[in-house]
Chains A and B, each alone.
Chain A
Amino acid sequence: MSKLITLIIDDKQVEAKEGERLLWVALDNGIYIPHLCDLRMARRTVASCRLCFVEIEGLPNPVTSCTQTVSEGMVVRTRSPRVDRLLRTGFELLLSNHRLHCAKCAKNKRCELQKIAKERGLKLKLTRLRQLVKEAQIDESPGVFCYDSSKCVLCGRCIWADQEQVKVGAIGFIRRGIGRKVATFEDGLLADSICTQCEACVKICPVGAFYLKEDERKPYKIKKEC
């Protein structure tokens, strides 16, 4: 698997190890592809955020670069009308279920959604779709951080960090469909769970769902239901 191969991403010749995931090959070579859910260290790609689409010569449809392994002579385009359209729709869908609150958000200017919008020239507001956000329920029970499920984009990174990295197992996905969310067992408070408050989830969260209390700009004017 360690054989070196060359491929072309956006007219740039790139060297990579055979079998590596295309997303990380591109990122390592300074070529940005929007992404939220994939982690370099994860054993299996979840492919759930559906933002990292690229076009590969010879394939009829855009593919997610996190699931695509590189091979010799592969020709990749990270931008095309179809890729841009899929990203625009996928991004707007995520925004439609994300409480837009940038100015007061703890992750302002460090948010992956803001980065994607900046890189691809997308608006951080809804242009076509309706806002679906559920009521914000902020869990402030841990000592130094908070969990705001209305900001969560369900990328699952925190669950990976919790279960695979620090091996605690305090959080996981519950429910399904539009009701799917990251929560503790029986959807209780983090402080009441087996959470060790190691902050691994805070470090890995790409948006403002898990954030440090010290980063909070101004107190939220939202009724806290804890």
Chain B
Amino acid sequence: MNSVSPAIEQAYQLLRAEAQQKTEILKEKPVILLGTATCGRAAGAMSVLAAFQDEIAKHQLDVVLRETGCMGHCYAEPLAAIFKKGFPPLYYGSLDEGKARRLVNDYLVNDDPCYEFAMVALEPNDFFPTFDDYPRGIYEKRIILADCGLIDPEDIDHYLARDGYSALAKALTSDPAWLIEEIKTSKLRGRGGAGFPTGIKWEACKNAHGAPKYVICNADEGDPGAFVDRALLESNPHQLLEGLAIAAYAVGAKQCYIYVRSEYPLAIKRLKTALEQSTARGLLGQNVLDSGFNLEIRLFQGSGAFVCGEETALITSIEGHAGIPNHRPPYPATAGLHGKPTVINNVKTLSYIPHIIRNGASWFTSIGTPNSPGTAVFALAGKVVSTGLAEVPMGTSLRHLIYDVGNGIKDDKKFKAVQIGGPSGGCLPESSLDLTIDFDSLQQAGAMMGSGGMVVLDEDDCMVEIARFFLDFTQKESCGKCTFCRLGTKQMLDILTGITEGRGREQDIDLLWDLAEDIKLGSLCGLGKTSPNPVLTTIRYFRPEYEAHIREGRCPALMCKSLISYHIEPDLCSKLCNVCIGSCPVEAIYTRPDMLKGIYPDKCVKCNSCMVACPPQYKAVVKLSPPAPESPVGERGSEVEQANNPDH
């Protein structure tokens, strides 16, 4: 080993020196980094990109404009970072074409950094606050997200110049047994959801009999509300490839798969480019960095089944069968793909590997909690102000995450619950806000780390409806193999649908609870075993809401359409405005003789248009639950009508 190591180191140093030289030249010019990951594109980043290009060309400026990935601040997309000599590097958020043109005209041509558009500075300076000056910066600690948005994912030199692939070079000069020991000491736990220790998985695979061995990266991120893996793949694919290569070297695999869902076209494109570039540089493929180690990484596109994120289903899918789980044991580490020992790790888990190898296991264990070291990446979504990705050390409380990192609840509404871990996770109430986040504490509370989806719910969200929504998802995504999942989720969904539509029976809550417990214990795979979690946690923490639906026919959050009716308050209605009538798609709103407005309850389809349309100074449209038996306004309207027209 020692005789080869200088050659590996030399080969790597050469690559990095080249890359650094190339990026050094870039630093002389002004640089615009525009986030064009899926979140940015959805917010209009491509038209901003076109505006930048157009304006730069118009002024014939020598500016480097690069497309990068997601910076984590999805609420402020489209987002760009501009570096110019003599000014602090600044982030500009919520860009549009006009702002892009002004930034080129005022900043790049005329040296006015447009502080009015700037969001935050990337480095400490005398002019503008940095992330560290905001609560978010204090609680966030970025490891795997650190380079996201700051490097061009389609240019390997950006990654190399920031010491990328140095961990691979270090790994190739070390003994695989040492690598596994290092990962075991780091206590890295699988970020796919269950939190199984990665080092132990690798060791089991390495010691298992059978060849060839495989390493598979699970990038089949299907949870509603989770987008961490997508952002990592789109923003820093080389970090994953490096981790994958280290994993393959450690367990003795020569072939790897990246199982990525085909719903992530940009991630696939950027991964393909990354694979081509790193193979061209000799960082993958035959004789990696002149070490004699061969490695082939293949992309495998999933066809849209959520259950293929379950490892045994993922394996059967790669083998060419329908993605249906099998019983474990045998675990994939001993008998996986084609019956051979296989390591399956999540994108996030593998992305941590280069950092741990580079900085050492003790560095990693110094972050987070003793049993769950490191950081956790969450995809903040729902009714929180700053949606996006947040990477915080394990052990951060939910309160800090939602109120400091996420900047609280939208429109100053009241926090009700937070749904963690997607359809496998659970809803935690306000009393759990001080819960510190790690694998074990979440599991105890009934939720799950899952894929890092965190959906914040406010007072307008009905918990029965939320449980129904997630169960509807798992029921549709059940593969149908085992009895409990196929029929149990269907039965639970029918009961929940009944409750949200006002057909709930008194015994339904207990029946749901019993079914949920049995499905949890009796199902074959992880999908079935975790599918009752949204039901169990909502009953556990929000039982009164279920009871209100069943006993009073009332939806406390005014969300379940069958249990509400719309009504126009005569005291608030302006009489002179007809906005609600225009907004109604089914002509259910009429003008009474006294010019006030009324709603025909039998015509109303409860689309909420009138409520949105009613000008904020009146706010005359209200929702009632339980629904008023007959529209009170309608009645009074007819009374007025009679009073005004004695002839009738």
Interface residues of A (CB under 8 A from B): 44-51, 53, 61-62, 64, 67, 82, 85-86, 89-90, 93-94, 96-97, 128-130, 132, 154, 173, 175-180
Contacts and interface: CB of A to CB of B under 8 A. Distances in A.
B301 interface: no
B494 A130 contact: yes
B327 A45 contact: yes
Contacts of B487: 93-94, 96-97, 132, 178
22 contacts: A45-B327, A46-B481, A47-B524, A48-B482, A50-B523, A53-B522, A64-B327, A86-B522, A89-B484, A89-B488, A89-B522, A90-B483, A93-B483, A96-B487, A129-B491, A132-B491, A177-B480, A178-B475, A178-B480, A178-B486, A178-B490, A180-B480
B326 interface: yes
Contacts of A179: 480
A149 to B, nearest CB: 13
B518 A86 contact: yes
A90 B324 CA distance: 20
Counting chain B CB atoms within 10 Å of each CB, the highest count among A49, A50, A51, A67 belongs to A50
B485 to A, nearest CB: 9
Contact of B518 (A85, A132, A176, A177): A85
Contacts, number: 90
A93 B489 CA distance: 10
Interface in B517-562: 518, 521-524
Contacts of A64: 327
Given A50-B482, A176-B478, A177-B478, 19 more contacts: A45-B327, A47-B326, A48-B483, A50-B484, A62-B521, A86-B521, A89-B488, A89-B518, A89-B522, A94-B483, A128-B511, A130-B491, A132-B494, A154-B480, A173-B480, A176-B479, A177-B480, A178-B478, A178-B490
A134 B252 CA distance: 50
Contacts of B59: none
Contacts of B463: none
Contacts of B483: 48-51, 90, 93-94
Interface in B488-529: 488, 490-491, 494, 511, 514-515, 518, 521-524
Counting chain A CB atoms within 10 Å of each CB, the highest count among B324, B326, B491, B511 belongs to B491
A128 B324 CA distance: 29
A89 B514 CA distance: 9
B477 interface: yes
A94 B522 CA distance: 13
B413 interface: no
B308 to A, nearest CB: 11
A46 B479 CA distance: 13
Given A47-B524, A173-B322, A96 B478 contact: no
Given A175-B480, A177-B478, A48 B491 contact: no
Nearest to A45: B327
Nearest to B474: A177
Nearest to B305: A176
Nearest to A85: B518
Interface string B318-352: 00001010110100000000000000000000000
Counting chain A CB atoms within 10 Å of each CB, the highest count among B322, B329, B487, B521 belongs to B487
Given A64-B327, A177-B476, A178-B475, A154 B486 contact: yes
A7 B524 CA distance: 26
Nearest to A66: B327
Contact of A96 (B329, B482, B491, B518): B491
Contacts of B515: 89
Nearest to B490: A178
Nearest to B329: A67
A8 B481 CA distance: 31
B513 to A, nearest CB: 12
Contacts of B324: 176
Contacts of A130: 491, 494
Nearest to A98: B487
A45 B329 CA distance: 11
A48 B522 contact: no
B522 A177 contact: no
Contacts of B523: 50
Contacts of B518: 85-86, 89-90
Nearest to B479: A176
A56 to B, nearest CB: 14
Interface in B169-209: none
Nearest to A88: B518
A86 B484 CA distance: 9
A53 B523 CA distance: 11
A152 to B, nearest CB: 12
B492 to A, nearest CB: 10
Counting chain A CB atoms within 10 Å of each CB, the highest count among B305, B327, B477 belongs to B327
A26 B524 CA distance: 22
Contacts of B514: 89
A93 B477 CA distance: 18
A46 B327 CA distance: 7
Contacts of A178: 475, 478, 480, 486-487, 490
Contacts of B327: 45-47, 64, 67
A177 B484 contact: no
Closest 4 CB pairs of A and B: A180-B480, A93-B487, A89-B518, A47-B327
A67 B326 CA distance: 11
A48 B524 contact: yes
A177 B475 contact: yes
B326 A44 contact: yes
A44 B481 CA distance: 15
A129 B480 CA distance: 18
Nearest to B494: A130
Contacts of B494: 130, 132
A44 B321 CA distance: 15
B245 to A, nearest CB: 33
B522 A132 contact: no
Interface in B250-303: none
Contacts of A94: 483, 487
B461 to A, nearest CB: 26
A53 B483 CA distance: 13
A128 B514 CA distance: 11
A177 B491 contact: no
A48 B481 contact: yes
A180 B521 contact: no
A81 B559 CA distance: 40
A215 B477 CA distance: 38
A82 B487 CA distance: 20
Contacts of B521: 61-62, 82, 86
Contacts of B491: 93, 96, 129-130, 132
A180 B324 CA distance: 12
Contacts of A128: 511
Interface in B437-483: 475-483
Interface in B569-604: none
A47 B482 contact: yes
A50 B522 contact: yes
Nearest to B523: A50
B453 to A, nearest CB: 22
A45 B481 CA distance: 13
A89 B322 CA distance: 28
B482 A177 contact: no
B530 to A, nearest CB: 15
Contact of B481 (A61, A97, A180): A180
A175 B305 CA distance: 12
A46 B316 CA distance: 13
A86 B520 CA distance: 10
